[in-house]
Amino acid sequence: MKQKHLHILVVLVALLLVPANSWADDLKRGDTFEVDGITYRVTDIYDKTVNVGPGGWSSSNDPAIDVETKGSLVIPANVTGPDGKEYVVNQVASYAFRNCTGLSSITLPNTIESISSYAFYGCTGLTSFKFPEKVDRISSLSFYGCSSLTSVAFPSALKEIGSLAFSKCSSLATFTIPESVLAIENAAFKDTKWYENQPKGLLYKDNVLLGYKDDKPNGRVVVKANTRVIAGRAFDGCKELTSITFPIGLVSIGTFAFYNCI
């Protein structure tokens, strides 16, 4: 009995020696914290991952930084939270840098895997952008209205580009869609410099049929050989279509590609 009481006493003493804040300060999924003026949000407490920015299922539209920030910004691959634990930065949250017009460049770590909606919306100071190699998804409206953006370098891991992702990037003239891409939604590159330089009719970029410009296709359409992807809403509203022939090797057709064609 004395040994049992002694054991309990040892456990109690050990507990008393643990710092009072060691559990109280543990972060939960959805918690936010700031490091060097950048806000991060915990996305997984087991894998120890965070978003850049407070946005997400919390419905917060606040940016990750002060919108008046100017110049270049470098996002680290890892950050230490207020709980003393190290977290991997693996996603840019929705609205993270929306309307941060003073940013001239931003460098993302190779740990980033996806870019969420509206992430860089309206960043009119950005002139070029290089995506980390692990990025497989660029969500809708993520670079909408980045009017100074002249070129982007997509990673070989990229699989999906969301609707209007680069729309209204009026200076964007140079980009290559990698063969890894399996889905592009509607108007992803509309109203870019590249778009304005294209002739009327069906719009092709690399191995993707993006849609049409001005003149709606009608009658019989034969999709160009080597086309692997047809973008979302590519033939939206083409009521005069009578038939369409797809090439061997076509792997995906986007959402509502033939919407309102009846």
Domain finish residue from 172, 197, 222: 197
**So what's the pLDDT on residue 56?**
58
Q: Is there a single domain that holds both residue 139 and residue 123?
A: yes
Q: Is there a single domain that holds both residue 248 and residue 131?
A: no
Q: What is the pLDDT of residues 65-93, one digit of tens each?
A: 999 999 999 999 999 999 999 999 999 99
Q: Is residue 181 part of a domain?
A: yes
Handedness of CA 149, 64, 110, 167 (dihedral sign): negative
**So what's the pLDDT on residue 87?**
97
* Beta carbons of 106 and 131 less than 8 angstroms apart: no
Buried b (16+ CB within 10 A) or exposed e, 187-202: bbbbbbebbeebeeeb
Q: Is residue 6 part of a domain?
A: no
Confidence of residue 145 (pLDDT cuts 50, 70, 90): very high
Confidence of residue 214 (pLDDT cuts 50, 70, 90): confident
* Predicted model pTM: 0.86
Q: Is there a single domain that holds both residue 226 and residue 176?
A: no
Range of the domain at 121: 29-197
Q: What is the pLDDT of residues 150-195, one digit of tens each?
A: 999 999 999 999 999 999 999 999 999 999 999 999 999 999 999 9
**So what's the pLDDT on residue 84?**
93
Residue 80, helix vs strand vs coil: strand
Q: What is the pLDDT of residues 5-58, one digit of tens each?
A: 445 444 444 444 444 444 446 889 989 999 999 999 999 999 999 999 987 544
134-162 mean pLDDT:
96
Domain finish residue from 173, 197, 221: 197
Q: Is residue 24 part of a domain?
A: no
Q: Is residue 11 part of a domain?
A: no
* Beta carbons of 160 and 181 less than 8 angstroms apart: yes
Domain finish residue from 197, 217, 252: 197
